[in-house]
Chain A
Amino acid sequence: GEDVEQSLFLSVREGDSSVINCTYTDSSSTYLYWYKQEPGAGLQLLTYIFSNMDMKQDQRLTVLLNKKDKHLSLRIADTQTGDSAIYFCAENRGYSTLTFGKGTMLLVSP
């Protein structure tokens, strides 16, 4: 199919790790992205990974990329209540077009 797929909802306890998964579609996508959206706000770029990489770490965030399965994941270590938001993965299908998943709502409980 043509859709970028994400699970809709994830609930974790504060201090646990969160793993948000995404399946993308275009094997020629050069960059893959994770964005965060809080209520009433725009999208905040969290991190991105180039398609020839397997992993990228940025402080509490770890991105894993499995090109064979077209699978992307975002791991948030030591999840905090402030991490509660909707997380979008997106792929760059060329030029400047980003194709987004429907988003995963992350709820972090104290």
Chain B
Amino acid sequence: DIHMTQSPSSVSASVGDRVTITCRASQSISSWLAWYQQKPGKAPKFLIYAASTLQSGVPSRFSGSGSGTDFTLTISSLQPEDFATYYCQQANSFPYTFGQGTKLKIK
């Protein structure tokens, strides 16, 4: 199985900050990577797929990059509604796997 590792596990930031979250795959997954946002008590929300394609309706302050084994999610200017937990997911091969999550907290 492909293991996904996110870093950091948690990060504190302020409104307006630029934040980058990293996701590393245990083997190459080409660009088969998605990012999701989850708020407490809610279902995950689909943000980015194919490593860098923004899902319709997602604000342009979110961006993704990377290929192979190393990927990043960047939020260019944090808004209050962005404080949540973020997960990466590999879609290269079954079983699909998620990273352990990165909790983005208000500083």
B is bound to A: no
Q: What residues make up the interface of B, taking CB atoms closer than 8 Å to A?
A: none
